Structure 1
Amino acid sequence: MGMVNIGLSGVLANRVALNTTAQNTANVNTPGYSRQVVNFTATSSGNFINGVNLGAGVEVGSVIRIAEQSSVNRLRESTELAQYSQTYFEGLSNLENMLGAEGLSLTSGLNNFFAAIDEASVSPESLAFRQQVLTNADALAQQFNSVYEQLNQQEAAQSERYGAVVASVNSQLESIAKLNTQLQADALLGKSISGLQDSMDKHLNELAKSVDIQVIYLDSGGVEVSTPNGQPLVINGYSARLERNITNSDPYSTDLNIQFQTMVTPVDASLGGELGAIEALKTQQYEPIKTLLNDMAGALSLEVNSVLSGGYALDGIQLLSPDSDLFVVTAGSEASSIAINSTLTPERLAFSSTGQVGDGGKLTGLSMLSQKALTSGSVTGKTLYSAYSGLLGDIGIFTRQAESESTAAQISLEDAQVIRDSVSAVNSDEEAANMMLYLNAYEANMKVISTANQMFQTLLQAF
């Protein structure tokens, strides 16, 4: 019966190989699927004839998942960088479009305001020109308000997105921890874990879109996951949770804590990925731009009011600050609060330096403010115009740079995907060839069994 058993072992082994090939072929278009190959092992013990060990056929030693760890790691790292770059570029593009919008341009608002000042200097006693100054001052103040509000809305949208990504990260961490438990259990039972390992790589790639991670692969097929600075995210079947920390009273805060079992620690570095990009937009763009707008609005209010203080209204009455103020602001939120003084009327604008009708000495000082270097915070050494044009120029440069980096990161991601697929993806031609090879071997082993049966029948007929 040795020949029958040997042939049967070949039939069974090649049937496993055919099933494996069928599995590969079925998943030729499945993203993230790693092809599998059968490792045959000769069974050397079993049949002895005249003291010679003829072996006992073949068995399937293992079904191997074809994956090169370096290419898997590169794909995950490229995924993280591509998502970071794309998110940052999108945020900058939205900022550039908003700041350059025709109705929100502070440059046009400043132009109209100073043009009204210059026109009023021709006839300072004209109520029409005075009203025009008030109207354009009000329009400029509202443009500051609108730009700041639009900036707030963009930051609020990014903050909402940040919260959604944090929730997604927590879900992915839980899934990875559960996969760790299942991988360990199946590995101990000797089950194939190839499909679970593919699922693990998919979850890790999805997680990498949101946050930069370090991964240690375990012998069981599971992983340990941590932040770039080594803070634990997944260990065995336990996962951490990210929690937003808004104790600093900032509703758009990107501060995070990591809760791992009973331990709570603040995230001590940028997390990368989508979370890192949103944090960078906040700290490198939104907050500095808000500071600049507040400093511009505060400087505009201070300089204009300083010029008008002590001037004379149309009725010859001298006005001192705050009665002479054209603008009013709230400290700390200048851009969002700046408005014209509600007590002012065209007649009460203190344009005169002497109190005489037709004198517009203060208007000359107001006109000169368009070229005056400011001395307030982030706009120190700049004019109102150069401060805003510098902001637009910087945003344009940052956006083009981010676009270039995003394009390069996407190309790198595509290259990493090609390298991974060249090793792990299914090749239809190769599987077709394997199918023929294993089918021929299957039929040959069936022929061995048939021949053994004929030999046995011949032997029986001899008696």
Structure 2
Amino acid sequence: MSGLFGTFNVATRGMSAQQKALDVVSHNIANANTEGYSRQRATMETTRPFGMPSMNNAMGPGQLGTGVQISSITRIRDNFLDYQVRTENGTSGLYQGREKFLTEIEGIMNEPSDTGVSTLLGKVFDSWHELSLHPESSNSRTVVAQQSKALTDELNNTYNQLTKLKGNSQDVIKQNVVDVNSMLNQINELNQQVISVKVGGNEPNDLMDKRDLLVDQLSVKFGITIDKKSLGGEDIKADGYDASLVKSINKDEVSRFSYVSSIKPTGTIKPGETGDYEVTYYKNGDMTSEKNKATLNINLTPQQYKELDQGRVLLADKEGNAIDTAGVKLESSADFTNLALFKPQKGELKGYMSVQEDIDNYVDQLNSLAKGIAFSINAVHSGKSGAADDKLMFFVNKDNKTTDGEKDINAGNISINEDITGDPMKINVGKGDTPGATDGNRALAIASLRDIRLNIQSINNTTTREQFLTGGNNKFSSEPDPVLGVKTISSSVNGMTVSGYFTDIVNRLAVQTQEAKRIVKNHEALLSGLDESRTSISGVSLDEEMANMIQFQHAYQANAKIISTVDELLDVVINGLKK
């Protein structure tokens, strides 16, 4: 239809299109500071023109336009930049998680400081040297006992703080499991809403923004793989795993995560030894109700125990029931080789899991240090290479009340023999095997241990004093030293001094922490650049939106002017022809 009424309709369509474009501009401006929002754009296209080719108008002047319409409202988004950001989020999350806990380990080690283990070690050996100069002095003996107690107290405290920190890291993993499951449920729901809106022929821009924001947050937790589906749907998997976490079709056939709260031996074995364990986990990590609690009986080797203890996260079905690697629900028992233990390749979860291994290593090294100190000083103090013959040990396991006071000694339980703290005069100082000798040679031999290279790195949880002093290159002399007149320990070619061993621990920690900080800093710069690029495309520019607003406003006014003009012309045609 042409004529004035056709022109009227063209202008009406123009006003409607400009008004919708203004609505889009208004929506952009309102969400200029909304996290995850992508600016939207109204796409305009001409409506179907008059004068389409036909028998009647084949020789006409041509097609006559009928105006404009909004064909779609699309969001501006670069999928490749999204992929890059999410990939870097995983790597950044890994080292941020590591940096957080490695920094705390540095604080626990408290080095260098006047109250750290390194300084206290020096004071202990200094006190023994001073005692060798004044063997008759009860004050010098008391100083030895007190300085040694200060060292054992610091070792105990460091051990306990590291153990507590490991527990804290596991609490963080548990909370991450809850958060991840919540994110996945929200993404799954948004996925279905996006598809339903797409089926209706509309663009679910705001829903897709919410989903993308959650996916960005999820990519920080662990590496993810996204498979784009029809109608805007997305399938999401963890890198390296076939189990779907989000599905656009069959949305209930998805996996979730559960948290292992405890691993307890069921027999007489100690934690970490080969045997049967009762593994308790909470479905979906929700520990607010005992209804979510479930147990599995699993036979574990020391290495498998360590993997499960440091990992703590199980793949599960949607209800949180643990599954095997084939996706089958586990009832009451499981084979560890088939257990679907979640081992992310990157992300915060990977960082928290890996730092537990670091904590375990530092605890083991601290235990080796404590054993090395106890074995070497006790041996020279008593003149015995084996604990069975030692009737008055200097260092003992405070939790072990048996005759073998060194049994299972570590950094957490090392202490000074109560008989010695109660009566420092019982300290063996001279050549004789009984306390009270006043020549000071034995105290000098103990002070000399400061410079003896001990094979401490070979010590493990089961090492005894006899094994330590007869294995490797550390040899306890069978005959007294010709100069000192007491039995001593020879240096190991491959060994380290006690202070050097601890300094090596601290140095490795410093290197690990600096590496984590450096990578975090580098990835923050990289992510900042990627985020800036993404913002330049998807972010709202108020200057640009104001310019668009003025453009659409003027177009709206111009279309309104056309309607006013057509109204005047129609008035002439309808009312003016009567005259």
TM-score (norm 2): 0.73
Quote the residue 1:7 is aligned against: 11
The structure 2 residue matched to 1:26, chosen from 26, 30, 44, is 30
CA distance in 2, matches of 1:168, 1:71: 25
Deviation at 1:460, TM superposition (A): 2.7
Change in 2 beyond 3 A, CA 1:368/1:81: same
Query: Does structure 2 conserve the Cα–Cα contact (< 8 Å) formed by 1:210 and 1:275?
Result: yes
Quote the residue 2:184 is aligned against: 173
Deviation at 1:191, TM superposition (A): 2.9
Q: Does 1:39 align with 2:43?
A: yes
Query: Does structure 2 conserve the Cα–Cα contact (< 8 Å) formed by 1:310 and 1:321?
Result: no
Quote the residue 1:294 is aligned against: 367
Quote the residue 1:240 is aligned against: 255
Which has the larger displacement, 350-359 or 12-21? 350-359
Deviation at 1:387, TM superposition (A): 0.8
Q: Does 1:100 align with 2:110?
A: yes
SS at match of 2:430: coil
Deviation at 1:320, TM superposition (A): 7.4
CA distance in 1, matches of 2:166, 2:220: 20
Which has the larger displacement, 160-169 or 443-452? 443-452
Deviation at 1:126, TM superposition (A): 3.1
Letter of the aligned partner of 1:438 in structure 2? F
SS at match of 2:69: strand
Post-superposition CA distance 1:238-296 (Å, at most 9, x none): 4532212355448964331111346724245335222222112111x211110100001
Deviation at 1:141, TM superposition (A): 1.3
Query: Does structure 2 conserve the Cα–Cα contact (< 8 Å) formed by 1:305 and 1:321?
Result: no
Quote the residue 1:276 is aligned against: 350
Post-superposition CA distance 1:23-44 (Å, at most 9, x none): 1122222222111111112222
Change in 2 beyond 3 A, CA 1:123/1:321: farther
Quote the residue 2:485 is aligned against: none
CA distance in 2, matches of 1:142, 1:359: 30
Which has the larger displacement, 434-443 or 328-337? 328-337
Quote the residue 1:305 is aligned against: 378
CA distance in 2, matches of 1:339, 1:243: 40
The structure 1 residue matched to 2:200, chosen from 183, 186, 189, is 189
Quote the residue 1:315 is aligned against: none
Letter of the aligned partner of 1:325 in structure 2? M
Change in 2 beyond 3 A, CA 1:310/1:193: same
Task: Indicate the percent of aligned positions where both proteins have the same amino acid.
Answer: 24
Deviation at 1:58, TM superposition (A): 2.0
Deviation at 1:45, TM superposition (A): 4.4
Query: Does structure 2 conserve the Cα–Cα contact (< 8 Å) formed by 1:156 and 1:252?
Result: no
The structure 2 residue matched to 1:346, chosen from 414, 424, 430, is 424
Change in 2 beyond 3 A, CA 1:134/1:426: same
Which has the larger displacement, 426-435 or 193-202? 426-435
SS at match of 1:418: helix
SS at match of 1:244: strand
CA distance in 2, matches of 1:436, 1:413: 35
CA distance in 2, matches of 1:126, 1:232: 74
Query: Does structure 1 conserve the Cα–Cα contact (< 8 Å) formed by 2:429 and 2:438?
Result: no
Q: List aligned pairs for 1:217-232, cutoff 5 A.
A: 217-230=228-241, 231-232=243-244
Q: Does 1:396 align with 2:523?
A: no
CA distance in 2, matches of 1:436, 1:310: 95
Q: List aligned pairs for 1:311-460, cutoff 5 A.
A: 321-329=389-397, 334-344=410-420, 345-354=423-432, 357-377=437-457, 381-460=495-574
Letter of the aligned partner of 2:547 in structure 1? A
Alignment RMSD (CA, Å): 2.6
Quote the residue 1:110 is aligned against: 121
The structure 2 residue matched to 1:89, chosen from 99, 107, 121, is 99
Letter of the aligned partner of 1:264 in structure 2? I
Deviation at 1:76, TM superposition (A): 2.6
Q: Which has the higher helix share?
A: 1
CA distance in 2, matches of 1:19, 1:310: 91
Query: Does structure 2 conserve the Cα–Cα contact (< 8 Å) formed by 1:159 and 1:252?
Result: no
Q: Which has the higher contact order (CA 8 A, sep 6+)?
A: 1
Change in 2 beyond 3 A, CA 1:310/1:87: closer
Deviation at 1:104, TM superposition (A): 4.8
SS at match of 2:232: coil
Q: Does 1:258 align with 2:306?
A: no
Letter of the aligned partner of 2:140 in structure 1? F
CA distance in 1, matches of 2:225, 2:390: 59
For structure 2, the 5+ residue unaligned runs are: 265-270, 272-307, 325-339, 401-406, 460-493
For structure 1, the 5+ residue unaligned runs are: 312-318
Change in 2 beyond 3 A, CA 1:333/1:429: farther
CA distance in 2, matches of 1:441, 1:127: 101
SS at match of 2:71: strand
Post-superposition CA distance 1:350-370 (Å, at most 9, x none): 333335842333223312221
Aligned residues: 455
Query: Does structure 2 conserve the Cα–Cα contact (< 8 Å) formed by 1:215 and 1:225?
Result: yes
Which has the larger displacement, 287-296 or 372-381? 372-381
Which has the larger displacement, 255-264 or 385-394? 255-264
SS at match of 1:215: strand
